[in-house]
Amino acid sequence: MDKIIGRKKEIDRLDKAMSEDEAQLIIVYGRRRVGKTFLVNEYYSNSFDFKFTGSEQQTNSEQLKNFTLELKAVSGNSYNTFKDWTEAFFALREYLESKNTDEKQVVFFDELPWMDKQRSGFLAAFEWFWNSWGSSKNNLVFIVCGSSTSWMVEKLDNNKGGLFNRQTCRLYLEPFTLKQTEEYLNSRNVFWSRYNYVVVYMIMGGIPFYLRLIDNELSLSENIDNIFFKKRAELWNEFDHLYSTLFSNSDQYIKIVESLSKKRYGLTREEIIKSTGLPANGVLTKMLNNLEKSGFIRIDDAYGYKKREKKYQLSDYYSLFYFKFIKNNYGKDEHFWSNTSDSPSKRSWEGLSFEQICKDHIDQIKKKLGISGIISEVSSWTKQGDGNDKGTQIDLLIDRRDNVINLCEIKFSTHEFEINKDYDTALKNKVSVFRDSVNTKKTLAVTMITTYGVKKNMYSNYVSKQVVLDDLFEDA
């Protein structure tokens, strides 16, 4: 397991599952490319009593043929191709019973959703196998894994049939944090500044599959050009492949995320309907839920807003980068990123992406502020403008049980952030408008989250708390 970066909580949970004296049904899910298969393979040193991987493009009969060949290879038995999944699972049962039942037996089914083809009978057969036999075998550890998080949640987590409440261990793999990203890249001999690691995170998120493509002999800009903008680059068609493998009607999902990519502060459900032209029905609700469960969008809790007014934000870094830069630029300039050293478009994207990073590292921010143990709610706040007022926005609020609200301003820059007279006036006005609008008596603590801190001058004392880039690299 020396190759595993981070994942301490997941490893501890697997250790606990392996120590139990009862059958274990372990569900591992998470965004595509996040490292689910790698974690399972490394934890078990690629040593399984049986392992089978579903195929995205193959028919049910082809999958059954593959299963037959895999079982034949490990058992030494001769089988005709199984006619259905019930027969296949019964043969698996016989094989496991022929082995030493005093030892742990580990079975790994990878890409489980791809096995559940329409009218395949796979899920019903799996339910029968587990309920009639597997769940009673105290030495059996059965791991199922899949990138289609929506399928895993709907068919397994929320199963109302034979698998209801049957899973004994559930692991949702999050993308790497900034600290884990740094550790991973260091393990591959990539040693850059933390500023550059943050820029990489803005583009790739903490997705190990993407990060492994970075060449330690190239600069950051050269790497981005090679991976995304060079003709037939490593990830030149990643976007379409990513969504089509996760969602059957991927074009409609893409409509939603593309609409969200154009709105910095997200869209309400009604605004999504208007922007995409999709019907306002249960299908849209399911798509939004699937996108959220798969880690592509987040629900932005707006301070003081009712639940029905919640906004959805695109939170997948790669998708944001794709719509902002790749979609309309791929193939036009193989050195696009190197030639885009500074532009209003890039600065706007950096600001938005850094806000996303802060939201994804809220535990590190709370730790720096010394409020990890205080119950709090995280949200944003917007006051719409009118003819006399341009309106105002607060990027991040931490509403604490100890009667303090941290009003967080988030700024990404290459140097210390300097508060000038105009910004000082705007900041004080924002705080005043917030207090008057929400009518709160809580203490308002102005908090700056920046790359290198706030430069000391005659205006900087108004900031009561600071969080800098290095703080985001701490353990939570």
Q: How many residues does the chain have?
A: 476
In a shared domain, residues 161 and 291? no
Higher pLDDT, 335 or 331: 335
Q: What is the domain-level CATH number for residue 303? A: 1.10.10.10
In a shared domain, residues 56 and 132? yes
pLDDT at 302: 76
In a shared domain, residues 191 and 150? no
| 254-310 confidence digits (pLDDT tens) | 999 999 999 888 899 999 999 999 999 989 999 999 899 888 999 887 777 655 568
In a shared domain, residues 133 and 55? yes
In a shared domain, residues 117 and 57? yes
- 45 domain residue, yes or no: yes
In a shared domain, residues 136 and 207? no
Q: Give the integer Cα–Cα distance in Å for 79 and 69.
A: 8
- 358 domain residue, yes or no: no
**Largest alpha-carbon pair distance within the chain?**
83
In a shared domain, residues 232 and 245? no
pLDDT at 388: 67
Report the pLDDT averaged over residues 169-190: 95
pLDDT band at 430 (very low <50, low <70, confident <90, very high): very high
In a shared domain, residues 229 and 244? no
Q: Which domain holds residue 17?
A: 8-173
- 436 domain residue, yes or no: yes
Question: Is the Cα torsion angle 58, 63, 69, 71 positive or negative in sign?
Answer: positive
CA quadruple 43, 46, 52, 56: dihedral, nearest 10? 80
| 28-84 confidence digits (pLDDT tens) | 988 889 999 999 999 999 999 999 999 988 999 999 999 999 999 999 999 999 999
pLDDT band at 163 (very low <50, low <70, confident <90, very high): low
E strand map for 278-372: 297-300, 311-314
Cβ–Cβ < 8 Å for 355, 349? no
Report the pLDDT averaged over residues 5-29: 93
In a shared domain, residues 310 and 454? no
How large a percentage of the chain has pLDDT more than 90?
Answer: 72
pLDDT at 153: 76
Q: What is the domain-level CATH number for residue 34? A: 3.40.50.300
Domain count, the chain: 4
Q: How many other C-beta atoms are found inside a 10 Å radius of the C-beta of residue 248?
A: 10
Cβ–Cβ < 8 Å for 366, 472? no
When the pLDDT of each residue in the chain is averaged and rounded to a whole number, the result is 91
| 440-476 confidence digits (pLDDT tens) | 999 999 999 999 999 999 999 999 999 999 999 998 7
How large a percentage of the chain has pLDDT more than 70?
Answer: 95
- 106 domain residue, yes or no: yes
Looking at 292, 326, 360, which one is the last position of a domain?
A: 326
| pLDDT value at 423 more than 90 | yes
Q: What is the domain-level CATH number for residue 465? A: 3.40.1350.10
| 378-394 confidence digits (pLDDT tens) | 998 888 776 666 778 89
Cβ–Cβ < 8 Å for 330, 309? no
pLDDT at 156: 79
| pLDDT value at 421 more than 90 | yes
